[in-house]
Structure 1
Amino acid sequence: MASSYSYPELFLAGFIFTLPFLYEKSNVFRYYLKFFLYYVYVFITCTILLPVVLLYPRDVTNLIVASRFCRYASYIVGIEWELRGLENWDNEECFIVISNHQSSLDILGMFEMWPRMKRCTVVAKRPLMYAGAFGFGAWLSGLVFIDRLKTDTARQLMKKATERVVREKTKLWIFPEGARFNKGCIQPFKKGAFYLAIDAQIPIMPVVFSQYYFLDSQSKTFEPGKVIITTLPPIPTKGMTRNDLEALSDMARQQMIEVFNDSSKDLARQIKVAV
């Protein structure tokens, strides 16, 4: 008796049945699948939320709404977040927020924090602006997109963004390392964030993500894991001039390195106790 199933149907059924085996046995498959599910979930959520954020274009509080839904991507990929120092967000001041940058997963940690951060936006690379519904939704939510290759234009955009930060009492989140780096340390900082803070005489707010021990792009490892995010007390810049820029940058980076090392060790102890 001839089979009632076509070859494509049989192939699809076989592929579906092998998925659990591949997920369990292949680091590479698990790595790419988790990132795929993360991006697809955020993309679909942003698409659904577009009519909502269109009501308030370029309003940074749209990010609070988006975060309430996008944060569930953390459960899909198996990341737990522990938030420390949230009391430092309990004010209406404007800040230049700086943090280390290890992966595109950082945005999931930020989604956990946005309801507490309230009025906070982010400096992002311009190509993200063209990432479909995500990019359009991010632009509608007040993100500042800059082209790092066009230095003069980028500086003008950052200056305007800082003026808006002061005017609307908002926080501006910048990754001063300039690129993602997940090798167990914090890279030297570019100076843009510190120029802005000194020129506007507004505080620097350091935020530190502990090491992503569960993630390795070289070996294509992406296991379930936990991250500690620590918000440090603001560093005032009142009275500082550009002559103080180097000292301010070094001070902030040194504080962040100490917290990065301590929180990463704390996380290692938690894992050891759990095992």
Structure 2
Amino acid sequence: MASSYSYPELFLAGFIFTLPFLYEKSNVFRYYLKFLLYYTYVLITCTVLLPVVLLYPRDVTNLIVASRFCRYASHIVGVEWELRGLEHWDTDECCIVISNHQSSLDILGMFEMWPRMKRCTVVAKRPLMFAGAFGFGAWLSGLVFIDRLKTDRARKLMKKATDRVIREKTKLWVFPEGARYNKGSIQPFKKGAFYSAIDAQIPVMPVVFSQYYFLDSGTKTFEPGKVVITTLPPIPTKGLTRDDLEFLSEKARQQMIEVFNESSKYLVGEKKIAV
């Protein structure tokens, strides 16, 4: 009796049956699958929400709506977030928010915080603007896209964004390291965010993500894990000038390094206790 299944169907069935084995045994497979699921979920969610954010184009509160749905991607990839210092967001005062940048997973932590952050938008790399529905939705939600290679234009866009922050009493989130770095430290900061804060005489508010000990792009490791996100008290800039730029930058960075080390050590200790 001839088989009723075609070779493609048998191949597909065999592949599906091997998925649990690959997920359990292969770090590389698990690493890429989790990122695929994360990006796919966020992309589909952004696509579905486009009609909603189109009603209020360039309104930063669209990010609150998006976060309520996109945040579930954390459960899919197995990342838990512990939020500290959220009381510092309970103000209408505008400011420049700075944070360390370790992975594209950072946005998932921000999704957890947006309902409390309320009026807050982000400075992002220009290529993300062309990332399909995600990029279009982000633009509709007021994100500021900057090409860092075009310095003069980037400065003008930052000036324009800062003026809007003041006018609309919004917070502007910047990653001053300039690139992702998940090697157990916080890199020296680029100065753009601090120029903007000093020129506008608005505070700088540091936010610290603890180390992603469960994630390693080199070995393609992506295990379940927990991240502590700590919001620190705003650092005032009233009376500061550009001569104080290095002082402000280093003050913020040293505060963040101290919290980064403490919160990362806390998680390692918690992990050992759990084991």
- Return the TM-score normalized by structure 1: 1.00
Residue of structure 2 in register with 1:127 after alignment: 127
Residue of structure 1 in register with 2:204 after alignment: 204
Residue 177 of structure 1 and its aligned partner are, at CA, apart by: 0.2
Q: How does 1:1-275 map to 2 (within 5 A)?
A: 1-275=1-275
Residue 27 of structure 1 and its aligned partner are, at CA, apart by: 0.1
Q: Distance in 2 between the 1:91 and 1:173 partners?
A: 15
Q: Distance in 2 between the 1:149 and 1:261 partners?
A: 32
Aligned residue for 1:228, secondary structure, equals strand
The number of residues matched between the two structures is: 275
How well do the aligned residues superpose, as a CA RMSD in angstroms? 0.4
Amino acid in the other structure paired with 2:86: L
Q: Distance in 2 between the 1:130 and 1:45 partners?
A: 17
Q: Distance in 2 between the 1:75 and 1:161 partners?
A: 33
Aligned residue for 2:124, secondary structure, equals strand
Q: Distance in 1 between the 2:4 and 2:181 partners?
A: 52
Q: Distance in 2 between the 1:164 and 1:264 partners?
A: 35
Between 262-271 and 191-200, the greater mean CA deviation after superposition? 262-271
Residue 57 of structure 1 and its aligned partner are, at CA, apart by: 0.0
Aligned residue for 2:164, secondary structure, equals helix
Aligned residue for 2:139, secondary structure, equals helix
Output one character per residue of 1:137-169: Cα deviation in whole Å (capped at 9) or x when no partner. Answer: 000000000111111111111100000000000
Amino acid in the other structure paired with 2:30: R
Q: Distance in 1 between the 2:199 and 2:58 partners?
A: 24
Aligned residue for 1:229, secondary structure, equals strand
Query: Where has structure 1 moved over 4 Å in runs of 4 or more?
Result: none
Q: Distance in 1 between the 2:227 and 2:161 partners?
A: 30
- Return the TM-score normalized by structure 2: 1.00
Q: Distance in 2 between the 1:272 and 1:22 partners?
A: 27
Aligned residue for 1:253, secondary structure, equals helix
Q: Distance in 1 between the 2:241 and 2:121 partners?
A: 25
Structure 1's unaligned 5+ residue stretches are none
Q: Distance in 2 between the 1:267 and 1:81 partners?
A: 11
Q: Distance in 1 between the 2:256 and 2:221 partners?
A: 26
Output one character per residue of 1:47-75: Cα deviation in whole Å (capped at 9) or x when no partner. Answer: 00000000000000000000000000000
Amino acid in the other structure paired with 1:107: I
Structure 2's unaligned 5+ residue stretches are none
Q: Distance in 1 between the 2:203 and 2:271 partners?
A: 35
Q: Distance in 2 between the 1:136 and 1:28 partners?
A: 31
Q: Distance in 1 between the 2:94 and 2:224 partners?
A: 35
